[in-house]
């Protein structure tokens, strides 16, 4: 049986990828197919399909080109060193999925040092090499494993930007009153019925699950900062949907 997405699902998906301008901006920002896929809960190959469909070339296209198997001895050494899949991929200049494939194919067991709980008296912060930032500060997280503080901060900030881009696109992409769409930071969500408001999208929405944020956004209308201020002050009126 062939699975067919409902019209609602297809429209939501099109909002994210079918629009060439949005995908172009993501790729021009230096994001890889894998990163865009991870942020939007889609496989990198699916993102690649839409990039090819629009004639776009990802910055990391070479990363996904077929280049054969990595050096087996090198892979075995890295697997035994306790590095994560992402760190091994960086060392071999391959994608994470490629590394995972060859580990499985060759039956190589990987020792991930960060999967082992650290002693209770472990220092809260240590200096370690990060594949992206070099030697930097790593901090214990809630799982009792060390994580690069700069990677953590960047991941949180990027996810917040991604969630807002998705919500703004699904809300029409521009102010419902004046049509402003130049800067996404100036677009805000106004609740049509304050009594139904569970949380503010501007502050809490980007920290919640995308499904929860979407549910809250459906109660709102997208306005620019100026029109939003005028509505809140009573200079403009909006009909509740």
pLDDT in tens, the chain (241 residues): 444 545 555 555 555 555 778 888 888 887 877 788 777 777 777 788 888 888 887 765 555 556 678 889 888 888 887 677 888 888 888 888 888 899 999 998 886 655 555 677 788 888 988 878 888 898 887 767 788 889 888 888 888 888 888 889 988 999 999 999 999 989 999 988 888 888 887 777 666 778 888 888 899 999 999 999 999 898 888 764 4
Whole-model pTM: value is 0.48
Predicted pLDDT of residue 175: 93
Token readout for 88 is 């091994």
Predicted pLDDT of residue 225: 93
Coil, helix or strand at residue 110:
coil
Predicted pLDDT of residue 28: 81
Cβ contact 190:220 at 8 Å? yes
Predicted pLDDT of residue 177: 92
Q: How many residues does the chain have?
A: 241
Q: What does DSSP assign to residue 139?
A: E
Predicted pLDDT of residue 14: 54
Which residues are paired to 182 by β-bridges?
none
Predicted pLDDT of residue 241: 44
Give the C-alpha separation, 235 to 177, whole Å.
Answer: 13
Predicted pLDDT of residue 2: 44
What residues contact residue 49 under an 8 Å CB cut-off, 6+ apart? none
Give the C-alpha separation, 154 to 156, whole Å.
Answer: 5
Predicted pLDDT of residue 16: 54
End-to-end CA distance of the chain: 38
Torsion angle in degrees (nearest 10) through CA of 171, 173, 175, 179:
-140
Phi, psi of 158 (to 5 degrees): -65, -40
């Amino acid at each position: 049986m062939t699975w067919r997405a409902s019209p609602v699902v297809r429209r939501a998906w099109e909002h994210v990828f079918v629009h060439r301008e949005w995908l172009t901006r993501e790729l021009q920002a230096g994001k890889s197919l894998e990163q865009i896929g991870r942020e939007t809960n889609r496989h990198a190959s699916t993102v690649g399909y839409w990039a090819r469909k629009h004639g776009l070339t990802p910055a990391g296209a070479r990363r996904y080109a077929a280049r054969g198997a990595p050096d087996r001895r090198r892979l075995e050494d890295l697997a035994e060193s306790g590095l994560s899949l992402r760190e091994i991929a960086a060392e071999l200049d391959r994608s994470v999925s490629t590394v995972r494939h060859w580990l499985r194919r060759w039956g190589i067991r990987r020792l991930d040092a960060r999967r082992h709980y650290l002693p209770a008296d472990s220092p809260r912060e240590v200096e370690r090499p990060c594949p992206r930032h070099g030697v930097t500060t790593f901090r214990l997280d809630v799982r009792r494993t060390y994580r690069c503080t700069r990677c953590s901060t960047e991941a949180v900030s990027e996810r917040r930007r991604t969630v807002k881009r998705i919500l703004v696109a699904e809300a029409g992409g521009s102010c419902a009153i004046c049509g402003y769409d130049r800067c996404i930071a100036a677009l805000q969500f106004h609740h049509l019925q304050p009594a139904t408001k569970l949380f503010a999208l501007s502050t809490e929405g980007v920290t919640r699950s995308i499904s929860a944020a979407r549910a809250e956004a459906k109660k709102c209308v997208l306005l620019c900062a100026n029109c939003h201020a005028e509505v809140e002050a009573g200079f403009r009126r909006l009909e509740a949907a």
